[in-house]
């Protein structure tokens, strides 16, 4: 935009000089012809400047970088997150397994909650679980019912997670896993929380005695991915980058720019694009004379209808 303003300023100065020269050296008729020529040149130059500022091709470099760097990086980060949480969850489940059999009742709830807090303690905890976008971690008995979660007040106590989430029931059968699940809102009429639910069996003396479960809301995963890319690009102050999570037609995000939210391609646009290019596709949109490149990348490791939309813009000085 600065180039456009400077160009327009130069254009105005040139027109003034041309007019002054013509008034000193030409007849009235010649002046009119000269002015018409000058005006035509002005239009040509102005169109060139405008096209340079917001050309019709739309952010080709941003689209290229999203396709070749950012989208693969996001997919890698998600795989690393899954592997890290899976490893930590498995270790943590066996670490608290004795609590399923040595005590019961209120004392079991108190002890389990304390152990859950210790699992995320920076000094004594499980490293893979200390830094995480999870919103909860809970222990589940063999009946599928939640014994306790890691914080109070505990609204999950007594909730049958085994019945709600097949991945939890599978963990009670000895099989760890992950899946996308919905938690009903605690507010009347509120939207359910869509989370990545992970579960691992707890073994004691060779037997499964319960399960350790955690949940990561999709909007928290979106924030983590955005912050990671922004951090990795922090040395390039002119780059603006945001990541959105989608599940079907719905978007899951928090803290994104409201004006940018309006530019995210709709569910129908995403579906049409992925039908033509199942591995993902890129596009471009402009807003306030700024071009954004964007890329849609499915993350089928999380689910068949999940993925990300990545926006990149080179800030104009």
- Stronger pLDDT, 56 or 286, i.e. the higher one: 286
**pLDDT score at 192:** 86
**pLDDT score at 191:** 83
What CATH architecture does domain 77-217 belong to?
2-Layer Sandwich (3.30)
**Cα torsion angle, 53, 54, 56, 61, sign:** positive
**pLDDT score at 54:** 42
Please state which of the ranges 15-19, 63-67, 254-258, 310-314 shows the lowest mean pLDDT.
15-19
Residue 152, C-beta contacts closer than 8 angstroms, at least 6 positions apart: 113
pLDDT over 90 at 297, yes or no: yes
- Stronger pLDDT, 256 or 8, i.e. the higher one: 256
| pLDDT tens-digit map of 40-79 | 334 333 333 333 344 335 789 999 999 999 999 999 999 9
Mean pLDDT of 136-160: 95
- The single residue listed with the structure tokens 């813009």 is 313
pLDDT over 60 at 23, yes or no: no
**pLDDT score at 196:** 97
Tell me the pTM: 0.80
DSSP the chain: -HHHHHHHHHHHHHHHHHHHHHHHHS-HHHHHHHHHHHHHHHHHHHHHHHHHHS-TT--HHHHHHIIIIIHHHHHHHHHHHHHHHHHHHHHHHHHSTTHHHH--HHHHHHHHHHHHHHHT-TTTS-HHHHS---SEEEEE-TTSBEEEESSSS-SSTT-BHHHH-HHHHHHHTT--EEEEEEE--SSTTPPPEEEEEEEEEEEETTEEEEEEEEEEEHHHHHHHHHHHHHHHTTT-TTEEEEEEEEETTEEE-SS--HHHHTTSPPHHHHHHHHHH-TT-EEEEEEETTEEEEEEEEE-TTT-TTEEEEEEEEE---
Mean pLDDT of 121-139: 94
pLDDT over 50 at 39, yes or no: no
**CATH class for the domain made up of 60-76+220-314:** alpha beta
**Domains 60-76+220-314 and 77-217 are alike in CATH topology:** yes
- Euclidean distance between CA atoms 62 and 316, whole angstroms: 13
pLDDT band at 237 (very low <50, low <70, confident <90, very high): low
**pLDDT score at 197:** 98
Domain coordinates in residue numbering, the chain: 2-53, 60-76+220-314, 77-217
| pLDDT tens-digit map of 91-126 | 999 999 999 999 999 999 999 999 999 999 999 999
Q: Give the distance, in angstroms, between the CA of residue 190 and the centroid of all CA atoms in the same chain.
A: 22
**Per the structure block, which two tokens stand in for 135?**
């919103």
Q: Kindly report the average pLDDT of the chain as a whole number.
A: 84
**pLDDT score at 188:** 74
Please state, for a pLDDT cut of 70, what percent of the chain lies above it: 80
**pLDDT score at 169:** 98
**pLDDT score at 243:** 98
């Amino acid at each position: 935009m600065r180039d456009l303003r400077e160009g327009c300023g130069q254009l105005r100065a040139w027109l003034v000089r041309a007019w002054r020269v013509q008034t000193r050296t030409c007849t009235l008729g010649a002046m009119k012809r000269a002015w018409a020529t000058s005006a035509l040149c002005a239009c040509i130059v102005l169109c060139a400047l405008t096209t340079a500022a917001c050309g019709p091709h739309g952010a080709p470099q941003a689209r290229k970088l999203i396709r070749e760097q950012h989208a693969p990086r996001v997919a890698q980060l998600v795989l690393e997150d899954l592997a890290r949480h899976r490893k930590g969850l498995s270790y943590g489940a066996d670490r608290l397994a004795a609590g399923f059999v040595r005590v019961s009742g209120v004392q079991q709830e108190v002890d389990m909650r304390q152990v859950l807090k210790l699992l995320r303690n920076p000094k004594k905890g499980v490293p893979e679980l200390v830094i995480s976008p999870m919103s909860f971690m809970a222990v589940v008995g063999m009946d599928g019912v939640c014994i306790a979660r890691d914080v109070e007040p505990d609204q999950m106590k007594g909730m049958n997670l085994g019945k709600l989430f097949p991945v939890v029931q599978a963990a009670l059968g000895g099989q760890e896993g992950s899946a996308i699940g919905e938690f009903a809102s605690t507010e009347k009429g509120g939207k359910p929380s869509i989370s990545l639910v992970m579960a691992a069996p707890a073994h004691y003396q060779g037997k499964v005695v319960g399960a350790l479960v955690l949940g990561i809301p999709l909007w928290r995963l979106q924030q983590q991915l955005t912050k990671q890319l922004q951090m990795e690009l922090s040395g390039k102050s002119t780059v603006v980058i945001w990541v959105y999570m989608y599940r079907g037609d719905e978007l899951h995000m928090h803290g994104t720019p409201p004006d940018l939210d309006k530019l995210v391609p709709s569910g129908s646009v995403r579906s049409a694009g992925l039908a033509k290019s199942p591995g993902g596709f890129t596009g471009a949109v402009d807003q306030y004379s700024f071009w954004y490149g964007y890329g849609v990348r499915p993350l089928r490791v999380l689910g068949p209808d999940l993925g990300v939309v990545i926006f990149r813009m080179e800030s104009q000085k």
